[in-house]
Amino acid sequence: MQTLYLDYSKCIGCGTCESVCKFVHTHPRIIMTRTTDGWWVPLYCQHCQNPKCMKACTNKAIYRDPDTGAVLLKQELCAECPTKNCLMACPYVAMICTGARKAPITKCNLCLDRGGLGPACAPMCPCDALMLVDHEDLDKVKTPEAQKAYELVRQHIICPECPTS
């Protein structure tokens, strides 16, 4: 059960993760976003334990990989979906609209298609802020500073009235 984890207290918003992802996958799946007070932060798929995108998907195109626990997308099922509800459902803006007919939506797959090399973005992070971790180990890598910074990011991306999962 792995996921990508970004320590927002270490991140300086340089955009290397987005660039590397773009180089490897053409449509970047980790996206640089700027908050209203000028803070550059990447938003990315958290491979949630309880994914909202999976619930919203009417075509059952989003599933969990049994081996790694990554939340993945079946392109053939996705292409036929008329709603694209997942775009709105994900609070982290991690479902990416490509505009292509065959693969209209793309999302982070933890670089499972890179032949065991793992996510490309994490090793290239100049700040050592991005890492591939087990869901169970998340509490070990989360520092109080990281948690504080993450809460700040959340305030920008999630409405205060929204229920937390």
Partner 1 sequence: MDFTFLCSGKPEPNGRKVAIIGAGPSGLSATGYLACAGYKVEVYDKLPKPGGLMVFGIPGHRISPENIARGAEKLEKEFGVEFKLRTKICGSEPMHEETGDDMAYTYKSLGGRVEDNDAVLICTGTWKSRRMEVPGHELPGVYSGLEFLFPVRAASYEIANMDVPEIKGKKVVVIGAGFTAVDVVHAALTEGASRVSLVYRRSREEAPCGSMEFNMLEKQGAVCMEHSAPLEIVGTDRVEGVRFAPCVMSEPDEAGKCRLTVQKEESFVMEADIVVTAVGEMGTPPFAHDLGLDNVRKGDVKWLQMTSLDSVFVAGDVLMGPSKIGKAVYSGLKAAKSLDEWLTLKDQGRLDEFQDEVIRREDLR
**Nearer residue to partner 1 within complex by CB, 23 or 98:** 23
Closest CA to 28 of 37, 17, 36: 17
Helices (H) and strands (E) in the chain, counts: 7, 8
**Nearer residue to partner 1 within complex by CB, 126 or 162:** 126
**Nearer residue to partner 1 within complex by CB, 18 or 62:** 18
Strand partners for 120:
none
> Residue 7 CB, nearest distance to partner 1 (Å)?
13
- CA-to-CA distance for 70 and 47, rounded, in angstroms? 6
- CA-to-CA distance for 155 and 23, rounded, in angstroms? 30
> Residue 126 CB, nearest distance to partner 1 (Å)?
5
**Nearer residue to partner 1 within complex by CB, 49 or 123:** 123
Judged by CB under 8 A, the number of residues near partner 1 is: 26
Q: Is 34 in the site for partner 1 (CB under 8 A)?
A: yes
Q: Is 69 in the site for partner 1 (CB under 8 A)?
A: no
Task: Report CA Rg, the chain.
Answer: 15
> Residue 83 CB, nearest distance to partner 1 (Å)?
31
Q: Which two tokens stand for residue 23?
A: 């180089």
> Residue 42 CB, nearest distance to partner 1 (Å)?
10
Interface with partner 1 in residues 114-133 (CB under 8 A): 116-117, 120, 123-128
Q: At residue 112, what are phi and psi to the nearest 5 degrees?
A: -65, -20
**Nearer residue to partner 1 within complex by CB, 19 or 147:** 19
Instruction: Decide: helix, strand or coil at residue 70.
Output: coil
Are 4 and 47 spatial neighbours (Cβ–Cβ below 8 Å)? Answer: yes
> Residue 155 CB, nearest distance to partner 1 (Å)?
12
